[in-house]
Amino acid sequence: MITRGKYFNHKKIDLGYSDMIAETLESGRTYFAPDGSKYPSITTVLSILSEEAIQAWRARVGAEEANKISHRASTRGTAVHSIIEKYIDNDENFANGFMPNIIENFKSVQKILDERLGDIYCQEFPLYSSHLGVAGRVDCIAEFDGVPSIIDFKTSKRLKSANDIEGYYIQESAYAIMWEERTGQPIVNLVTIIAVDDEPAQVFREHRDNWAPKLLDTINEYRRRKLFGR
pLDDT of residue 55: 56
For 58-77, how does the pLDDT look when each residue is reduced to its tens digit (9 = 90+)?
A: 556 666 654 565 556 667 77
**What count of other Cβ atoms lies within 10 Å of the Cβ of residue 197?**
14
Fold exhibited by the domain 21-228: Lambda Exonuclease; Chain A (3.90.320)
Distance CA 58, CA 36 (A): 38
**What count of other Cβ atoms lies within 10 Å of the Cβ of residue 62?**
10
Domain ranges for the chain, please list them: 21-228
pLDDT of residue 50: 62
Angle at 208 between CA 132 and CA 76, to 5 degrees: 85
pLDDT of residue 77: 76
pLDDT of residue 3: 84
Share of the chain above pLDDT 90, in %: 71
For 190-226, how does the pLDDT look when each residue is reduced to its tens digit (9 = 90+)?
A: 999 999 988 999 999 999 999 999 999 999 999 988 7
